[in-house]
Structure 1
Amino acid sequence: MVGGSTPSGTAIRPIPLHGAMFSATATRAPPITARSSARLDPNGHGFALNLLNSEWCKIAVRLSSYEFCRFCNLPRFQIFTHMPDHSAQEPAMFHVANDARFWDRIARKYAADPIADMAGYERTLERTRHYLNGAETAFEFGCGTGTTALRLAPSLRRIVATDISSGMIAIAREKAEAEDRANVAFEVATPDAAPWPDESFDVALGFNVLHLVAAREAALNGVHRLLKPGGLFISKTPCLKEMNPLVRIAVRVMQVFGKAPYVAFLSAADLEREMAAAGFEIIERARHASRGRDARPFLVARKR
Structure 2
Amino acid sequence: MHYDFILFGFFNLSNSFIYRFIYLFFFFFFSYLLIIFISFLVSISNNLSLNFNISIPVLIIFRSGSLIAQLIMGRYLRNNFYSQRQIVSVLLLTVGIIIFTLADIKEHRKISIVRTSIFLLPSSLIASPGIALLTFGLFASAYLGICQENLYHKYGKHHEELMLFVHLLSLPAFIFFYEDIMNGISRLNYSLPLHMFEFPVPRLWISLVALCISQWICVKNVYKLTSVTSPLNVTIVVTMRKFISLTLSILIFKNAFNMIHLVGALLVFIGSILYTDDISPFLFKIKEKFKKIVPL
| Structure whose CA Rg is larger | 2
TM-score bracket for the superposition, by shorter chain length: under 0.3
Structure whose residues are more often strand by fraction: 1
Structure whose residues are more often helix by fraction: 2
TM-score by length of 2: 0.25
Q: RCO higher in 1 or 2 (8 Å CA, sep ≥ 6)?
A: 2
